[in-house]
Amino acid sequence: MSRKYFGTDGVRGKVGEFPITPEFAMKLGWAAGRVLSQRGTRKVLIGKDTRISGYLLETALEAGLIAAGINVRLLGPMPTPAVAYLTRTFRAEAGIVISASHNPYYDNGIKFFSADGTKLPDEVELAIEHELEQPMVCESSEKLGKAQRIDDAAGRYIEFCKSHLPNHLSLSGMKIVIDCAHGATYHIAPSVFKELGADVVVIGASPDGININANCGATHTELLQKTVLEQQADLGIAYDGDGDRVMMVDHNGRVIDGDEIVYIIARAAKAQNKLQGGVVGTLMSNLGLELALKQLDIPFARSAVGDRYVMELLREKNWRIGGENSGHVLNLDHTCTGDGIIASLQVLTAMIEAKMTLAEFSHGMHKLPQVLVNVKFEKGTAPLEKQHVKQVIAEVEAELNGGGRVLIRKSGTEPLIRVMVEGEHEATVRQYAERIAAAVKIAS
């Protein structure tokens, strides 16, 4: 069955426009509560990032859940992976994150975690959508839920993160720049790295409700690159607004993206005979990752774009490591969802144990030039179905002649067509990408 409200990562949109309205958020909380009240603890956690609309949506969700008889635990600003972790440790029925991840402040979203800290199963999302179509009915007073704030949530998660650097290791002697994107890691990540011994320079840690992801963080690494060079730091780490993505910068100011981070983690696991199976990437993963893993005799498989699909393929193959070039990194030996802080600690662990710099460790992977162009399209149009667009794509693929890849897809979270072309020569690849994007734009 197709979903009416849930996308690849929950419900997302512009604040004030359906479905990101207080009315819908309350109804969604109630509908989720109705489904979840049929099982388990009748307890749900709510966390959020730092965007100003989080207050509005948190209150609306809380009211809906309580009306359905669910007890609510409020975590305040908290990274998405922290909510997944705390949902498990509190033995809650579900966790809810109010966040639009890497999007601008005027967007927001609502996504759910199951009791085991993973994305909700399809059948539960469909059950919630069914309840959304029903009239909202409040439980009788004696059956209403209660709300409670968890004051030590940040401290619990900080200790969890720190546990992923082996006890015999320390970050002492390392100078690290941390960019928190004015997002949910602002009060978490600096403490983690300082307490593990690093000399930490912090940027992007002054959220005001509207500066989340604004020219900083994992989607805009220019400030981090500049600061690493100015501070003569060993490396830099950037998270996105909700902390589930990570990008890194080596001491030369070069960006190390999600593909390279996955490569480093897999390479270290292979060297220590700890790698189970192979690595899962996505259709967007750079061909250079596949070739570098092949050199190490590590199997590689591609899933659809989206961390939930990476997770599905990992489970299907019983593998442990996967990720996306955007910075979602999964290692099921460490945690149950993409976690930017834990992924960066895995890279640091690999560096210290191998006595290598970040630049040296990533050197074994050569990325092919890959150009991504985003094209906005009007809802209701289907530009990829137009004959002219299909013709241009076919022409580009013929001209690449097996020396590259073309991938065209709709974004799962925004009204965008993503045009990706990959090949040996960047100038040629860019021309191809812009040629296809122009055809898509005309068809939109």
Annotated binding-site residues read: 101, 240, 242, 244
> Are 422 and 286 spatial neighbours (Cβ–Cβ below 8 Å)?
yes
Rounded-to-integer distance, Cα 269 and Cα 263, Å: 10
Per the structure block, which two tokens stand in for 123?
Answer: 């059948």
Annotated catalytic residue: which of 37, 53, 99, 101? 101
Number of Cβ within 10 Å of residue 6's Cβ equals 21
Q: Which residues are annotated as a binding site for Mg(2+)?
A: 101, 240, 242, 244
Bond preceding residue 383 cis, omega within 30 of 0: no
- Residue 247 CB contacts under 8 Å (≥ 6 apart), including other chains: 218, 221, 224, 237, 238, 255, 256, 257, 258, 327
SS (H, E, C) the chain: CCCCCCECCEEEEECCCCCCCHHHHHHHHHHHHHHHCCCCCCEEEEEECCCCCHHHHHHHHHHHHHHCCCEEEEEEECCHHHHHHHHHHCCCCEEEEECCCCCCCCEEEEEEECCCCCECCHHHHHHHHHHHCCCCCCCCHHHCCCEEECCCHHHHHHHHHHCCCCCCCCCCCCEEEEECCCCCCCCCHHHHHHHCCCEEEEECCCCCCCCCCCCCCCCCCHHHHHHHHHHCCCEEEEECCCCCEEEEEECCCCEECHHHHHHHHHHHHHHCCCCCCCEEEECCCCHHHHHHHHHCCCCEEEECCCHHHHHHHHHHHCCCEEECCCCEEEECCCCCCCCHHHHHHHHHHHHHHHCCCHHHHHCCCCCCCEEEEEEECCCCCCHHHCHHHHHHHHHHHHHHCCCCEEEEEECCCCCEEEEEEECCCHHHHHHHHHHHHHHHHHHC
- Whether 101 is catalytic is yes
> Are 280 and 289 spatial neighbours (Cβ–Cβ below 8 Å)?
no
Beta bridge partners of 422: 370, 405
CA proximity to 123, closest of 184, 35, 254: 35
Q: Which residues are catalytic?
A: 101
